[in-house]
Amino acid sequence: MLKTMEKRLENTATERIREVCRHIERHSDDSLTIARLASLAGMSRFHFARSFRSVTGVTPHEYVNGARTRALKHGLRDSDGVDAAIYDAGYGSPSRVYEHAAKRLGMTPGQYRRGGAGVEISSVCVETVLDYMAIGATDRGICFLQFGDSPEALQVQLSCEYPKATIVQTATPEPPFDTWVAAVDRYLKGEEPHLDLPLDVRATAFQLRVWRYLQGIPYGDLQSYGEVAAALGEPDAARAVAQACGKNRIALAIPCHRIIRGDGGLGGYRWGVHRKRVLIDLERAATALPKI
């Protein structure tokens, strides 16, 4: 009898903690002190803190911070500004977020929202079967790989992408650019199906999720925007997937050309639909698959 009573009390406490967790997720923008959360659970602060950690594996403070970080990442994508997203997520001031930004986001909120700025970028432009290609890289990896009709147009595009960066141009590919250019050349000849390049990309959490997923799509395969959204657990986000593809600055290595419309149409492509068709046909020819 005693063990049965203890089990019932334990189950009741677990359900109370779970209800508090649901409350935190719904109201992460509220003032969520441990005293208030304990009151919601109908427990003393000490008993609540101990029970909460036992059920969730983290402290109430850590759980609240996690919920606010998730809300912040969502808000940075959708809000009118960084500060607005910070306050909407429930943080009292932007300074508290910036202090811990590297741990929570991997970058400052400004970088997270806008992309990299204030860095030194080395660049080179070469001619390929898809017209001119420019590669820009920081000391961490490639941050820009795009195609255009002229070197001048690509240089303007690079400057627009990173207006605060110091850009250093080289006339011919020097190490490690020569290795990267050679890898792209082999890819465009159908000799290099797995283009493994070091990347330095900065984006929103959703964009990064889309781009990482794209990198996992096999060479020669095609998926629709809706299929990608469903695979990410966001079946209603097909349009957001398309927008993430449009924001991609790294052609080929982040293969957004493998994403088409649900009706089989090619859809858009940042570097021109004609280039998208060439890339799809190239991959399908290399894997002996029919053209679309």
The model's pLDDT over 80-128, given as tens digits with 9 standing for 90+, comes to 544 454 444 444 444 444 444 444 433 344 544 554 456 788 999 999 9
In whole angstroms, give the CA distance from residue 130 to residue 212: 24
pTM of the model: 0.61
Residues 211 and 270 in one domain: yes
Q: Which pLDDT score, from 0 to 100, does residue 239 have?
A: 93
Contact yes or no for 169/123 (Cβ under 8 A): yes
Specify whether 209 is located in the same domain as 262.
Answer: yes
Q: For the domain that residue 107 is a member of, what is the CATH number?
A: 1.10.10.60
Q: Residue 161 sits in a domain of what CATH number?
A: 3.30.160.70
Q: What is the pLDDT of residue 291?
A: 54
Among residues 88, 114, 140, which one ends one of the domains?
114
Rounded to whole angstroms, how far apart are CA atoms 122 and 21? Answer: 47
Q: What is the CATH number of the domain that holds 244?
A: 1.10.10.10
CA 45 to chain centre: 38
CA distances from 92 to 64, 73, 167 (A): 13, 16, 37
Same domain, yes or no: 72 and 24:
yes
Options 21, 125, 143, 256, the catalytic residue: 256
Triad 264, 213, 136: Cα angle to 5°: 100
Residues 212 and 251 in one domain: yes
Q: Are residues 109 and 124 in the same domain?
A: no
199 is a domain residue: no
37, 165 in Cβ contact below 8 A?
no
| pLDDT at residue 140, rounded to an integer | 80
Tell me: do 50 and 18 sit in the same domain: yes
The domain containing residue 166 runs over which residues? 120-188
CA distance 275 to 285: 15
Residues 19 and 100 in one domain: yes
CA distance linking residue 48 with residue 177, whole number of Å: 57
Is the link from the previous residue into 173 a cis peptide, with omega within 30 of 0?
Answer: no
DSSP E strand stretches across the chain: 120-128, 131-137, 142-148, 166-170, 223-224, 259-260
Coil, strand, or helix at residue 101?
A: helix
pLDDT above 90 covers a percentage of the chain that reads 43
* Total count of domains within the chain: 3
Q: Do both 14 and 93 map to the same domain?
A: yes
Handedness of CA 76, 80, 83, 89 (dihedral sign): negative
Using DSSP bridges, classify how beta strands 131-137 and 120-128 pair: parallel, antiparallel or unpaired. antiparallel
What's the CA gap between 228 and 214, in Å, rounded? 8
Which residue shows structure tokens 């570097």? Answer: 271
26 with 61, same domain: the answer is yes
Low-confidence ranges of the chain (pLDDT < 70): 1-11, 29, 57, 69-118, 289-292
158 in the same domain as 64: no
The question of whether 21 is a catalytic residue gets the answer: no
Q: What is the residue-wise DSSP string for 152-179?
A: HHHHHHHHHHSTTSEEEEESS--TTHHH
| 232 within a domain of the structure (yes/no) | yes
Task: Assess contact for 72 and 81: CB atoms under 8 A.
Answer: no
In a domain, 291, yes or no: no
Q: Out of 188, 214, 239, pick the residue that ends a domain.
A: 188
Runs of H (alpha helix) within the chain:
2-26, 34-41, 45-56, 60-78, 82-88, 94-99, 101-105, 109-114, 151-161, 177-188, 205-215, 225-231, 238-247, 273-286
Domain match, 12 and 96 both: yes
- Tell me, what DSSP letter sits at residue 289? P
pLDDT at 180: 96
Alpha-carbon dihedral sign for residues 250, 253, 254, 260: positive
Bin 268: left if φ > 0, else alpha if -120 < ψ < 50, else beta: beta
| Tens digits of residue pLDDT in 153-165 | 999 999 988 888 8
